[in-house]
Amino acid sequence: MEQVTNDIQKAQVIAEYTALRSEIEKRIVLRQQVLLAVLLLAGTFFVLGVQDSELGISVLCYPVIALFLAAAWRHESMRICHIRNYILTEIEMRYNFRGWETHRQTARNTMHQKGHWDQNEEFMGLGVSARCIFVATQIFALVIGIVRSLSFFHSLSTLLLIILLVVANVAATITTYHFTKHYREK
The predicted-structure confidence for 90-107, as pLDDT tens digits, reads as follows: 998 888 888 888 888 888
Instruction: Residue 58: give the domain boundaries.
Output: 2-179
- Residue at 185 is within a domain: no
Total domain count for the chain?
1
Is residue 7 over pLDDT 60? yes
3-state secondary structure of 96: coil
Q: How far is CA 36 from CA 19, 30, 73, 101, in A?
A: 26, 10, 11, 27
Confidence bin at 186 (pLDDT 50/70/90): very low
Residue 99 amino acid letter: G
The predicted-structure confidence for 106-159, as pLDDT tens digits, reads as follows: 887 777 666 655 554 444 456 678 889 999 999 999 999 888 887 776 778 878
- Residue at 184 is within a domain: no
Measuring CA to CA, which residue among 101, 102, 107, 128 is closest to residue 35? 128
- Residue at 170 is within a domain: yes
- Residue at 52 is within a domain: yes
- Residue at 186 is within a domain: no
Cβ neighbours of residue 25 under 8 Å, at least 6 residues apart? none
Cβ neighbours of residue 138 under 8 Å, at least 6 residues apart? 62, 63, 66, 67, 169, 172, 173, 176
Is residue 5 over pLDDT 90? no
Other CB atoms within 10 Å distance of the CB of residue 14: 13
Confidence bin at 185 (pLDDT 50/70/90): very low
Is residue 10 over pLDDT 60? yes
Q: How far is CA 6 from CA 3, 16, 19, 55, 98, in A?
A: 5, 15, 20, 66, 19
The predicted-structure confidence for 56-96, as pLDDT tens digits, reads as follows: 788 999 999 999 999 999 999 999 999 999 999 999 888 88
